[in-house]
Amino acid sequence: MGTGYDVAVFGAYGHTGRFVVAELRERGIGVLAVGRDEAKLRDLPWPGLEIRQASVHDPVSLDRALEGADAVINAAGPFADTAAPVIEAALRAGLPYLDVAAELEANIDTFARFGDRAEGATVIPAMAFFGGLGDLMVTAAMGDWTSADEAHIAYALSSWHPTAGTRAASKVSRERRNGQRLRFSGGRIERRDDAPPTLDWDFPAPLGTRAVLGEFTMADVVTVPSHLSVPEVCTYMTVNAARDVLAPETPAPPADGPSSQTFVVDVVVRSGGEERRIVARGQDIYAITAPLVVEAAQRVLDGRAKATGVVSAGEVFDAADFLAALAPRVTVETVK
């Protein structure tokens, strides 16, 4: 049975976009497949799928593509190029907007550019594995705390085969940073010229101690501080996965279906000498982005969003309830 909702997916034929389309259809939500390349839209493997060609360089085409939609999910990177035009179109149409951007600069730009303009609207950037999941986990771990001294989000990936979109987004980010790296400390984003530190992180069993790159800064340093009083937010990545994603010879993930990649996300928040910890496990960081962003879209459409404006996942949703809804594809447990 259908939900009566129709969601436009910009970038429907991309690697993550296909997972998003499949998730929407599985939930009985209508899909308007939107993208720049009409031939690629027609090649999507769902008979009868409604397709609409549109370009971020043509606002009129975006407006036409969103006609009849109840929300729009932007799955097309680099988001430095696509986020603002699609948000503008969503605001013109009065639609909720969600994206799966892992680009820090694009997420920073979204909060800065649309924070005042999106009053009464719903704009949720980084509603994905990086940015969305970590934010939900930090929010759930904090529970009744109104602030914390620090939050640490450690990622252990069995491997990381980057998509073409990930590589393109990384290139744009490096160019915008002039080769520098970013970290969040003292309540603000800092630029650094040195290499990120390598250290050991004690993941829960059965992983145990693994070498990680500290200050391997992901979108969580934008989403978490956007609504939580935490002056120190640091993200970590296992060294093996960091090597994979940075190596130009690493192949892309398989085109059809989830990969065999597994992940563990270990979150630790500390306040005044007290520590709280929460862990999530699952498979394929690209595939798992689909239930994250689609669950978010469905909650917005069902009236289960707690805030409007430019907001992150932990601010707009009941974090613990949202994480529970991801089972069994993501299993979350509190570590005592």
Residue 312 is part of a domain; what is its CATH number?
3.40.50.720
- Tell whether 190 and 175 lie within a shared domain: yes
- Tell whether 99 and 10 lie within a shared domain: yes
- Tell whether 328 and 208 lie within a shared domain: yes
> In this predicted structure, what is the pLDDT of residue 89?
98
Region of residue 120 (phi > 0: left; psi between -120 and 50: alpha; otherwise: beta):
left
> In this predicted structure, what is the pLDDT of residue 256?
84
- The answer to whether position 242 is within a domain reads yes
DSSP state of 131: I
- Tell whether 279 and 306 lie within a shared domain: no
**Domain housing 115:** 6-127+288-320
> In this predicted structure, what is the pLDDT of residue 243?
96
> In this predicted structure, what is the pLDDT of residue 1?
56
- The answer to whether position 190 is within a domain reads yes
Of the pLDDT bands very low, low, confident and very high (cuts 50, 70, 90), residue 129 is: very high
Q: Is-above-0.85 flag for pTM? A: yes
| CATH code where residue 239 lies | 3.30.360.10
Tell me: the pLDDT tens digits for 273-316? 999 999 999 999 999 999 999 999 999 999 999 999 999 999 99
- The answer to whether position 123 is within a domain reads yes
CA distances from 312 to 12, 55, 93, 218, 324 (A): 23, 26, 21, 14, 18
- Tell whether 234 and 295 lie within a shared domain: no
Assigned token pair, 100: 């799966």
- Tell whether 301 and 172 lie within a shared domain: no
How far is Cα 264 from Cα 12, in angstroms, rounded to an integer?
Answer: 27
- Tell whether 233 and 151 lie within a shared domain: yes
- Tell whether 301 and 329 lie within a shared domain: no
Of the pLDDT bands very low, low, confident and very high (cuts 50, 70, 90), residue 335 is: confident
Tell me: the pLDDT tens digits for 299-308? 999 999 999 9
- Tell whether 227 and 255 lie within a shared domain: yes
For the chain, what is the domain count? 2
- The answer to whether position 1 is within a domain reads no
- Tell whether 149 and 237 lie within a shared domain: yes
